[in-house]
Amino acid sequence: SFANPAVTIARMLSDPFAGIDPASGPAFVGFQLVGAAVAIVVIRLLSPEVGEVADEIVVPHEDAS
């Protein structure tokens, strides 16, 4: 899978049959970053209050020992 930029770069440097054309690598990585940015925006739109309630979700506990 080329979903990870590190994998994309590694596949650019591998056998051409199993890899991708080195000239296509920057486009793959660029669109992966665009996809990550879009995902962040969508998550923020669907769950805008996450930052406000984060302190209520993580509750400190005393040591069990």
Note the pTM of the prediction, 2 decimals: 0.61
Walking along the chain (65 residues) 10 residues at a time, the average pLDDT comes out as 76 76 84 92 84 72 69
Q: Quick one: pLDDT at residue 64?
A: 61
All residues at 6 or more sequence positions from 24 whose CB lies less than 8 Å from its CB, including other chains: 12
Residue 35 pLDDT: 92
DSSP state string for 6-62: HHHHHHHTS-TTTS--GGGHHHHHHHHHHHHHHHHHHHHHH-TTHHHHHHHHS----
Give me the residue spans of the domains in the chain.
5-48
Query: Measured in whole angstroms, how far is the alpha carbon of residue 16 from the centre of its chain?
Result: 25
